[in-house]
């Protein structure tokens, strides 16, 4: 009996042991899987290039003030955000055990994108500014397109106890850590 290969030779598959046929079958399966993986990878089209997130209208609208320059009492960090690095902020009890709040507005250049994050390893600290972010250890300000000056937002710093709070500021390709004195000098 012959295979449908056009050859009068007897089938080689019948002359192999069951183990050899199984091994051949496994090789074919692996080869087939590799072909599928390679073809899937080579046909993958790159996704869209991420674009800057436009400002949420409520973020720009919730600024309590717009000023041409930040107050001189604040340090401008990376040219885009002004923070109180030279004074001790008053930490007030908020009525929750182990939670203090230091009220301090955030002043951000209107057309800037900036991220502020509580330093690694700090427990119980979070940031909150109206319209800039949800309460948490990281806050993100997106540009208010077409606006100029500096936008001021109400809010401040939450801590578990008086702290010299490390805040990581990221803007563009820059990154800088500053210290904010919340209830105690740094």
CATH architecture observed for domain 57-182: Sandwich (2.60)
pLDDT for position 63: 87
User: What mean pLDDT value characterizes the chain?
Assistant: 75
Least confident of 19-33, 60-74, 122-136, 163-177: 19-33
pLDDT for position 135: 52
pLDDT tens-digit series, residues 142-154: 888 888 999 999 9
Distance CA 167, CA 25 (A): 59
pTM of the model: 0.66
Arithmetic mean of pLDDT, 117-131? 86
**Where do the domains of the chain lie?**
12-43, 57-182
pLDDT for position 6: 42
| Cα distances (Å, whole numbers) of residue 130 to 71, 94, 116, 155 | 19, 17, 14, 6
Distance CA 88, CA 139 (A): 21
What percentage of the chain has pLDDT greater than the value 90? 48
3-class secondary structure per residue, the chain: CECCCCCCCECHHHHCCHHHHHHHHHHHHHHHHHHHHHHHHHHCCCCCCCCCCCCCHHHHHCCCEEECCCCCCCEEECCCEEECCCCEECCEECCCCCCEEEECCEEEECCCCEEEEECCCCCCCEEEECCCCCCECEEEECCCCCCCCEEEECEEEEECCCEEEEEEEEECCEEEEEEEEECCCC
Q: pLDDT tier at 181 (50, 70, 90 boundaries)? A: very high
Arithmetic mean of pLDDT, 77-84? 96
pLDDT for position 24: 42
């Amino acid at each position: 009996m012959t295979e449908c290969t056009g050859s009068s030779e007897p089938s080689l598959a019948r002359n192999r042991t069951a183990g050899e046929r199984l091994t051949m079958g496994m090789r074919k399966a692996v080869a087939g899987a590799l072909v599928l993986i390679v073809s899937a990878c080579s046909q993958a089209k790159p996704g869209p290039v991420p674009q800057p997130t436009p400002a949420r209208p409520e973020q720009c609208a919730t600024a309590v003030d717009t000023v041409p320059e930040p107050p001189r009492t604040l340090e401008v960090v990376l040219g885009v955000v002004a923070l109180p690095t030279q004074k001790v902020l008053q930490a007030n009890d908020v009525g929750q055990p182990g939670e203090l709040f230091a009220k301090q507005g955030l002043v951000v250049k209107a057309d800037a994108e900036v991220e502020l994050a509580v330093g690694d390893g700090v427990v119980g600290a979070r940031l909150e500014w109206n319209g800039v972010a949800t309460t948490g250890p990281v806050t993100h300000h997106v540009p208010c397109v077409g606006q100029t000056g500096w936008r001021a937002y109400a809010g401040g710093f939450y801590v578990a106890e008086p702290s010299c709070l490390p805040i990581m500021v990221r803007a563009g390709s820059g990154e800088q850590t500053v210290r904010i004195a919340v209830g105690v000098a740094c």
